[in-house]
Structure 1
């Protein structure tokens, strides 16, 4: 069954509470099996489960550190289990016994039973995949327990001795593989995909896209019973984890073995900034008329319901000493069906500007000066993966702050889903022109700005102009109407590998700073402003002669102008008379 869900964007918004993986044991027949379990704090009943299987002679910690499913699960709200094998070498997982008597298959089924019993996961939304030999046993499981697994996600692994392509139903599959895999050859992928494509009744022709540089995505669908198949090919990648957990989740989350029972979609754990009254808009998976009531909770008298809108009667402040948590239980009714949600609302310690003062708009924001947050209220989310040799000691947290122009800094090595936040003071309500000084050597690099969950810009693409990430250039966009006052702006990376130096907000008039450096020969590309500071255009010019030619071609009017390099470090006044200096 395919579910109707929206694409997962901005994955790493503020998690309410961080959990930690736990190594646990589970009795399966006569064997005591081990598994690493990750359950986000306050996980709602009826949430999905992902089983992520390690490769030959690896372990759950390796699988966890390379997939980082926890960073997806915190906001997408699902549980993750990393099973541990009992054997080693070519017997790490039993990829030969294609029946329910397979002890590893029995282990996976026991995990589902255990997670349903302890954490009330939704048995209809269990997804299974793994790396290398973990991918191989994923294919074996397709032929044995397709009635228990809603979708499969093998990575760099398939049954090298051949597959029977038999399953109890058509099954959704997303397979990821590198073309330079020296262990499980990419050359065998086509046959495996073709066999399962035939079994699933998929169209013969794929729809091919390129989600990022060096990666292609072949999509076949719809197949029988509404399933789809995807092959993600990574050019030049050897036999190593793919880092595609977000892409895998966006595929598998669309599938269920059956309808879910009546329950809440609203999160049980909610975090709010001080001074906010609105708590949540209550939602269920019901299809009819649903009524809500406040039924219990130690702090129920502090809340009020207006149909499905839950709010505080009075906005709470953060308490430096004492509790900042409020408990309330909500009951939902649809006909004779009921569900109860035990909620905990946490008031967060406020984040503060890095240098103590909110950034003024109109004005410039240095991207490396994101706010100072806390564990429970972070001001950034960073996936890691930057080059340690390029990072600086400007900030001591996880964000990749790098050297940029001159002695300046930028945020680099960015990945989709990362974000930083900035407290701003908007001086006047209105739309603003945004300039961002950025560079990318990757196709598809982009970012977007938000206030809360509302976007204030469109997705802003940074073109692939410099493989060495040395020459920054300015990209421009328009904001929506910003209201006057203090806000927190979130800069969210929506396309990998863009380095960003600064953001500048203007309301049509650009402030021009004098500097001590006037050597126009340093200019590769420059912007022109009239004497009032209004932006006139960007021109490619390495000296005054080439700039003159560019201005003559543009039919620029006579007058005084400021030439400013796109990196902001070279300024020079010029006077233009009848298209001549």
Structure 2
């Protein structure tokens, strides 16, 4: 072995160690355009749930929601919490068309690829979830680029007005919302002194039915899971999935969401 290659080896090993050091839940992994926190199950090549925090939240706050994180880990899923970029002094997501800022689709694709290289997560089995502003981000990304991730699971977030004229499809999406949510009400509300308006959640579902080429507006399957009242549309385009779960609480990620969402995801063809 040449002296040049011999000298390079220690630096190579140090670099690899440094890459893996960010795997602790409290240590951010940095990429070219941002960063993320991650926690891994005790399995190889695991699927992953990427969960986006709400306005003013953080990746650390997401990881501290152990009622959500631990059930996902117990089911063999890695959990990633990307860090939003600063918007008006608080961390959030650049979801609304026409806003200036980070390309979030590129960023989220970047952090998933980084996690695949660092930790061996399965980049073909990624569920993108998010709460509130993170849920809005999930909807807009799924609308514009549905093939980016395997499935989408927004909580308490839909579209803003004006709604998208149309979304690409098919999409596999599971929307969860609280009956008494008054931060993102089912009917929507005005923000910023009337400059912005949250959209109607049911109007958003109509956009998804159109994207998925559903034959009827009416759901054709109903059910309950603990506190959740569920309705879904099954007579839609091949490869699509659309379900809505309503729970009696307010603006929160509800207890039981993680297992319910994974039951839905694992029941999809190819998952």
Whole-Å Cα distance in 1 between the matches of residues 106 and 232 of structure 2?
A: 32
- The 5 Å alignment of 1:413-424 reads none
Structure 1 132/209 Cα, relative in aligned 2: closer, same or farther at 3 Å?
same
Deviations along 1:38-90, one digit per CA (max 9) or x if unpaired, are 1123x212x21111000000112322333644322333212111011121458
The one of 15, 25, 35 equivalent to 2:29 is: 25
Whole-Å Cα distance in 1 between the matches of residues 181 and 173 of structure 2?
A: 20
3-state SS of paired residue (1:127): strand
3-state SS of paired residue (1:176): strand
Runs of at least 4 residues off by over 6 Å: none
- Which residue of the partner structure matches residue 231 of structure 1? 244
Deviations along 1:196-217, one digit per CA (max 9) or x if unpaired, are 012102242322222234x310
Deviations along 1:4-56, one digit per CA (max 9) or x if unpaired, are xxxxxxxxxxxxxxx9624223222xx4x231111123x212x2111100000
- The 5 Å alignment of 1:101-120 reads 102-120=102-120
Pair 1:209-2:223 in alignment: yes
C-alpha contact (below 8 Å) 1:153/1:248 kept by paired residues: yes
Pair 1:125-2:125 in alignment: yes
Whole-Å Cα distance in 2 between the matches of residues 241 and 184 of structure 1?
A: 13
Structure holding more strand per residue: 1
- Which residue of the partner structure matches residue 11 of structure 2? none
How many pairs were matched up? 231
Structure holding more helix per residue: 2
- Which residue of the partner structure matches residue 157 of structure 2? 157
Deviations along 1:453-493, one digit per CA (max 9) or x if unpaired, are xxxxxxxxxxxxxxxxxxxxxxxxxxxxxxxxxxxxxxxxx
3-state SS of paired residue (1:114): helix
Deviations along 1:222-272, one digit per CA (max 9) or x if unpaired, are 42113221111112x22222231111111123447x79xxxxxxxxxxxxx
Pair 1:194-2:198 in alignment: no
Whole-Å Cα distance in 1 between the matches of residues 120 and 98 of structure 2?
A: 29
Structure 1 68/184 Cα, relative in aligned 2: closer, same or farther at 3 Å?
same
3-state SS of paired residue (2:145): coil
- Which residue of the partner structure matches residue 34 of structure 1? 35
The TM-score with structure 2 as length reference comes to 0.76
C-alpha contact (below 8 Å) 2:72/2:259 kept by paired residues: no
Structure 1 111/65 Cα, relative in aligned 2: closer, same or farther at 3 Å?
same
Structure 1 239/73 Cα, relative in aligned 2: closer, same or farther at 3 Å?
closer
C-alpha contact (below 8 Å) 2:151/2:172 kept by paired residues: yes
Q: Which has the larger radius of gyration?
A: 1
Whole-Å Cα distance in 2 between the matches of residues 119 and 125 of structure 1?
A: 14
C-alpha contact (below 8 Å) 2:26/2:60 kept by paired residues: no
3-state SS of paired residue (1:208): strand
- Which residue of the partner structure matches residue 71 of structure 1? 70
C-alpha contact (below 8 Å) 1:125/1:255 kept by paired residues: no
- Which residue of the partner structure matches residue 175 of structure 1? 175
3-state SS of paired residue (1:35): strand
3-state SS of paired residue (2:175): strand
C-alpha contact (below 8 Å) 1:124/1:148 kept by paired residues: no
Whole-Å Cα distance in 2 between the matches of residues 177 and 152 of structure 1?
A: 14
Shift of 1:102: 4.5
The TM-score with structure 1 as length reference comes to 0.37
**RMSD value, Cα:** 2.5
Tell me, which stretches of 5 or more residues in structure 2 are unaligned?
1-22, 188-199
